[in-house]
């Protein structure tokens, strides 16, 4: 984490809701412009081991895209996505839920108007677009409450439509077994094909209820590439699925090659004895996300 004070910011002197709004704005812009180090490393490794000339060229173009975007302060992709926040709240952090939600919304609006960004958010029926990347229940905000800590952590992910449109849920039964789980995940990736802009990160939610499984799948793609699940059974499943998905030969952008997925991440919950929900959500090759930790005195530390 980098302290905002080391970057010449006076953010610590502002009221806490405004600190949060400013952090949300900065995170949205950073996620769109600067990819996490683990994503860049994974893409570079994929390029180095790729055997298909066309796939190597596509991966080289992706790496050049990242380089140019960072050098000139440009967006890596024009899709500003739906803004998604993961908020982790320490027990001793002064927490005002409505004020925090309002601050996150303000931050997204400020980023959209001041940059300016393309607004990707609209009404589901009328398609009216407020041009702020906000609206009813947007940004999407998920909370996690921590046993200790006096800080609040913001994680930001702009979820592009190409990847989000390729989301899948199936209510399996215990009789389907682990083979049924693997089959559904592979079928989902094959059905998605090149639409989510591979090489992808595959997020899997296993167990719980239908809605919890989808939430767990989204939770899975927050995890940095290269970090297996702490549960050895789930880590084994992740490795087996990654090998199987890359053996399909779909490759970068679905045009053939060795690397269809950069990672498979699985998160799980206990479930009912008569069911076994499985959810799949995909993240495109950019793996966009950014994070910051906010302290009660207004100090902000920015992560990757």
- Contact call for residues 260 and 189 (beta carbons, < 8 A): yes
Residue 6 pLDDT class (50, 70, 90 cuts): very low
Contacts of 274 (CB under 8 A, 6+ apart): 173, 174
| DSSP secondary structure string for all residues of 66-98 | HHHHHHHT--SSS---EEEEEEEE-TTS---HH
Question: pLDDT value at position 12?
Answer: 40
**Residue 274 in domain:** yes
Percent of the chain past pLDDT 70, that is, above it, reads 95
- Distance from C-alpha of 245 to C-alpha of 38, rounded to nearest angstrom: 20
**Residue 25 in domain:** yes
Same domain, 243 and 199: yes
* Measured CA distances, 164 to 18, 172, 193 (Å): 30, 22, 13
Interstrand relation of 200-207 and 261-269 (parallel, antiparallel or unpaired):
parallel
94: CATH: 3.30.360
Question: pLDDT value at position 15?
Answer: 81
Question: pLDDT value at position 143?
Answer: 96
**Residue 44 in domain:** no
Same domain, 143 and 254: no
Question: pLDDT value at position 10?
Answer: 38
Same domain, 246 and 150: no
Percent of the chain past pLDDT 90, that is, above it, reads 94
**Residue 61 in domain:** no
Same domain, 122 and 155: yes
pTM for the full predicted model: 0.92
- Distance from C-alpha of 266 to C-alpha of 144, rounded to nearest angstrom: 18
Question: pLDDT value at position 186?
Answer: 98
**Residue 66 in domain:** no
- Distance from C-alpha of 28 to C-alpha of 156, rounded to nearest angstrom: 6
- Distance from C-alpha of 52 to C-alpha of 118, rounded to nearest angstrom: 35
Same domain, 203 and 120: no
Domain total in the chain: 2
pLDDT tens-digit map of 236-255: 999 999 999 999 999 999 99
State residue 144 phi and psi, 5-degree precision. -135, 130
Residue 5 pLDDT class (50, 70, 90 cuts): very low
Question: pLDDT value at position 250?
Answer: 98
Question: pLDDT value at position 95?
Answer: 85
**Residue 260 in domain:** yes
User: What is the rounded average pLDDT of the residues 190-219?
Assistant: 98
> What's the chain's average pLDDT?
94
209, pLDDT greater than 70 = yes
Question: pLDDT value at position 303?
Answer: 85
Same domain, 170 and 252: yes
Domain containing 226: what range? Answer: 162-283
Strands (DSSP E) along the chain, which ranges?
2-3, 82-89, 140-145, 152-159, 167-172, 200-207, 261-269, 276-283, 290-294, 300-302
- Distance from C-alpha of 91 to C-alpha of 81, rounded to nearest angstrom: 31
Question: pLDDT value at position 14?
Answer: 55
9, pLDDT greater than 80 = no
Same domain, 131 and 221: no
pLDDT tens-digit map of 110-148: 999 999 999 999 999 999 999 999 999 999 999 999 999
Same domain, 205 and 136: no
In 3D, which of 101, 84, 103 has the Cα closest to residue 16?
Answer: 103
The DSSP output letter for 224 is P
**Residue 69 in domain:** no
Same domain, 112 and 197: no
- 1 versus 261: the higher-pLDDT residue is 261
Residue 1 pLDDT class (50, 70, 90 cuts): low
As given in the structure block, the two tokens for residue 59 are 């991966």
Same domain, 222 and 183: yes
26, pLDDT greater than 60 = yes
**Residue 59 in domain:** no
Same domain, 151 and 226: no
pLDDT tens-digit map of 88-115: 999 999 989 999 999 999 999 999 999 9
Residue 8 pLDDT class (50, 70, 90 cuts): very low
Same domain, 201 and 239: yes
User: What is the rounded average pLDDT of the residues 190-213?
Assistant: 98
Q: Where are the alpha helices (DSSP H) in 77-220?
A: 97-114, 161-164, 177-192, 210-220
């Amino acid at each position: 984490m980098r302290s905002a004070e080391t970057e010449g910011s006076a953010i610590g002197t502002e009221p806490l809701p405004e600190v949060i709004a400013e952090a949300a704005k900065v995170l949205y812009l950073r996620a769109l412009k600067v990819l996490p180090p683990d994503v860049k490393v994974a893409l570079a490794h994929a390029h180095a081991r790729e055997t298909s000339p066309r796939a190597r060229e596509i991966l080289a173009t992706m790496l050049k895209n990242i380089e140019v975007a960072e050098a000139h302060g440009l967006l890596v992709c024009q899709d500003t996505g739906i803004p998604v926040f993961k908020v982790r709240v320490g027990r001793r952090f002064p927490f005002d839920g409505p004020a925090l939600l309002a601050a996150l919304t303000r931050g997204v609006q400020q980023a959209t108007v001041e940059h300016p960004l393309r607004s990707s958010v609209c009404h589901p029926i009328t398609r009216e677009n407020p041009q702020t990347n906000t609206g009813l229940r947007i940004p999407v905000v998920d909370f996690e409450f921590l046993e200790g800590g006096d800080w609040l952590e913001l994680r930001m992910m702009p979820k592009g439509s190409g990847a989000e449109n390729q989301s899948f849920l199936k209510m399996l039964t215990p009789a389907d077994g682990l083979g049924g789980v693997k089959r559904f995940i592979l079928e989902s990736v094959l059905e998605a094909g090149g639409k989510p802009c591979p090489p992808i990160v595959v997020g899997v939610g296993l167990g719980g209820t239908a809605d919890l499984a989808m939430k767990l799948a989204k939770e899975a793609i927050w995890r940095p590439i290269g970090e297996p699940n702490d549960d050895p059974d789930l880590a084994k499943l992740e490795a087996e699925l990654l090998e199987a998905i890359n053996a399909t030969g779909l490759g970068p952008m679905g045009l053939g090659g060795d690397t269809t997925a950069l990672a498979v991440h699985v998160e799980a919950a206990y479930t009912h004895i008569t069911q076994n929900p499985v959810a799949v959500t995909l993240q495109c090759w950019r793996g966009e996300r950014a994070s910051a930790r906010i302290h009660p005195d207004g100090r902000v530390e920015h992560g990757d």
